[in-house]
Structure formats: structure tokens, C-alpha cells
Homo-oligomer: A and B are copies of this chain.
Amino acid sequence: MRYDVVGLGIASLDLIGVTEEQPLFGAKQSLTGWHEMGGGPVATALATLARMGARVAMTGAVGNDGYGQRILADLQTVGIDTQAMHVRPGTSHVSFVLAEPGRDRRTVWWHNDPTVLEQVPLEHELIRSARALLIDTHMPQVALHAARTMQATGGLVMIDAERVREHTLELLPLCNLIVVSAEFARQATGVVEPWEAARVLHSRYEEQLVIVTCGAEGSWCANKGELFHTPAFEIEPLDTTGAGDVFHGALLYALLRDDPIRLAIRFASAAAALSCQGLGGRGNLPTVSEVEALLEPA
């Protein structure tokens, strides 16, 4: 196999402003830090995989603006093959993230041009050359085709879903690994309790592993008729941006090296915790040995 994981989704640029004061609307306030960093759920999961030594490629599109060039350069810097990334007319996906380290609160205002992501050509050969496919919910039509191609190849398909969008629910039956936020699980099932939502989703798609992530509350996994909870690692978070994306990347890494599922989730959980000690989604992507040090302190 040429790649361990191919990702299909949005790659964005996050502008992260750090404030020490209580932010107020209608005011003019100074920031103590300003950072520019690549973002996007799939892109950050791939960056995590690359950091751990996996061979990864991304397909998707950026706009033909200055942001697009910076997004591509950033993907390459973190070790993601971008040959299947397209540059299309329009503006790229950008976000301003207001990070409040002391309060562990973040606010995100994002903007994109949806036409940039329309009719992105699918590279079937690229999908077939990988052991796993990671998709998000931003390009559902292409993701459907990609998931079918990967399913036919016999590889793993993992979805990272934050919100239920158009066609999102059509994607779920094609995924082996449904790893979603508590908010998504609630929207998709109508059930409020994450553990129950995990069970409902699993009962719908019996062959699939379902994980509902709940931030500092850990995660619930429903797999082969079994339901279990994995606590989050206790850390002093600097910024939880992207922790879920790092969880996805690390989980896929662990599963591809054949970790048993409970161990794989603990591995992902430790990686996500470590990522919260840096700013933004990629400010502290951990290596495998850093994750293992947290899992088994010397």
C-alpha cells in the first residue's frame, strides 16, 4: 500500500487570537498572542497520523487566494501529501479562533466559499492505494463515492462528524468507524445521553464500531453489542481546539497497527489530551512515544 490513510475533507487556515481578559462584544481589546495554523478536522487528523509516522495523503480543495497557498504549504510542512489537493476559484476556508486559555473556552467564526468544494474530482486510485479512508461531512457526494470505493477495496472507512448536514446520514452505513461528537450523536438519534446515543447508533449499523466523544467526560464506545466508557486523561488544557480531530487520527493509527479496540481508544484519548497542551489543533501534536509515556508512566 502506498498510503496508510487518505483523507477527504476540508483543509482550513485558523487564525488563533489568545486573550487573557474577559472578551466582550462591542469592545476593542488586545490579544496576548496571534497564531496562524492549518486546521480542519480531516487535515488535523492526518497531521496527527503523519506526526506518528504514518504515510498520509489528502484530497479536497482550497481557494485560489493567498490563504489557499498557505493551507497547502502548511499541509506539506506537517508531512501530508497534497498532490490530490485542488486549487479552485473562490475563497478558502478560514477561521478566527478566540482562545481563552484560563477558561478553556474557544469561540470560532469561520467562513468558506461552498463552490470551492463542489465537483472536486475523486481520485479513485488514490483511495485504493490506502489502507484507510477518513472523511468528514463537508463534501458528502464525493465522500459517498470515496467510501464506496474504499469499501470495495476492503479498507477501513472512518467518519469524523461534528454536525448532521445534508446527506450526512447516508454516509454512515458506509463507514466501519463512526466516531462522532456528543452533539452529532444527539442530532442523529434524538437521544440526549451520549452512552445511549452510542448504543442507538450501533444498533442501527450493527457491523460498525461507534464512538461518541464527550471531551473531558471521555468517550463511549459501542462495538459488537458491547458498550463501554473510556475516561479522558486529566490534563490542564491550554486550548482544546482540534482535540477531537487528534483523537480520530490517533485512533486510526492505533487500529491500523492492530491495537485491540480498548487500547486503541486509550491511545487516542491520551493523544487528544496531549494536544490540548498546545495552542490550536496542531500546536502540540504528540509523537507515539509521548503518547505511550502518558499511557504507561515510567
Contact = CB atoms under 8 A, between A and B. Distances in A.
A286 interface: no
A29 B163 CA distance: 12
Contacts of A34: 91, 94, 111
A160 to B, nearest CB: 14
Contact of A108 (B29, B70, B105, B109): B29
A17 B91 CA distance: 13
Taking each of A19, A33, A110, A111, which has the highest tally of chain B beta carbons within 10 Å of its own beta carbon? A111
Contacts of A96: 15, 17, 96
Contacts of A27: 107-108
Contacts of A94: 34
Contacts of A109: 17, 19, 23, 29-31, 98
Nearest to A22: B25
A37 to B, nearest CB: 14
Contacts of A105: 25-26
A28 interface: yes
Interface of A: 15, 17, 19, 23-34, 66, 70, 91, 94, 96, 98, 105-111
